[in-house]
């Protein structure tokens, strides 16, 4: 499942999707999902087929995805576990994208830049006029 174009996860996000469940994902699409705040969940094909059939059989069928516990909860309460890397889970739960993660280190970055400039003042030439 997936497209290598970043527009694919953008479109899904704008359409209101927060997670996508499939038996597999193309690597680029999988990574782009996380970069855009979407949770791609990989489940066995039989499980995905069963969930799909339930959506057809029961109008208004909904699932609850508990990212903290890493489970999908069916309407009758049955839970389906899924895997997600700890770092990606942390980013999704806290709303961090690449820029947000970098900004968390703004003080450290400023300190590094000040130290580097003090140690190598000739680098400032490119920053001044």
| Tens digits of residue pLDDT in 32-73 | 999 999 999 999 999 999 999 999 999 889 999 999 999 999
The predicted model scores a pTM of 0.77
Residue 20 has phi, psi (to 5 degrees) of -135, 130
| Domains of the chain in sequence order | 7-96 (3.20.19.10), 97-129 (no CATH)
The rounded distance, in Å, linking the Cα atoms of 25 and 36 is 15
> So what's the pLDDT on residue 69?
98
Tokens 């739960």: give the residue.
93
What tokens appear for 111 in the block?
């300190």
**Residue (of 12, 15, 80) closest to 42 by Cα position:** 80
**Angle at 75 (CA atoms; ends 70, 76), nearest 5 degrees:** 100
């Amino acid at each position: 499942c997936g497209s290598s174009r970043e527009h694919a996860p953008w479109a899904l996000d704008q359409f209101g999707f927060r997670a996508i469940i499939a038996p597999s994902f193309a690597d680029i699409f999988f990574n782009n999902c996380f970069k855009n705040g979407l949770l791609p969940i990989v489940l066995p094909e039989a499980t995905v087929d069963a969930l799909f059939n339930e959506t057809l059989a029961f109008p208004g069928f909904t699932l609850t995805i508990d990212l903290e516990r890493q489970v999908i909860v069916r309407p009758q309460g049955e839970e389906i576990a899924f895997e997600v890397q700890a770092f990606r889970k942390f980013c999704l739960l806290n709303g961090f994208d690449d820029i947000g993660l970098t900004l968390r280190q703004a003080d450290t970055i400023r300190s590094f830049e000040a130290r580097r400039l003090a140690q190598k003042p000739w680098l400032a030439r490119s920053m001044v006029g």
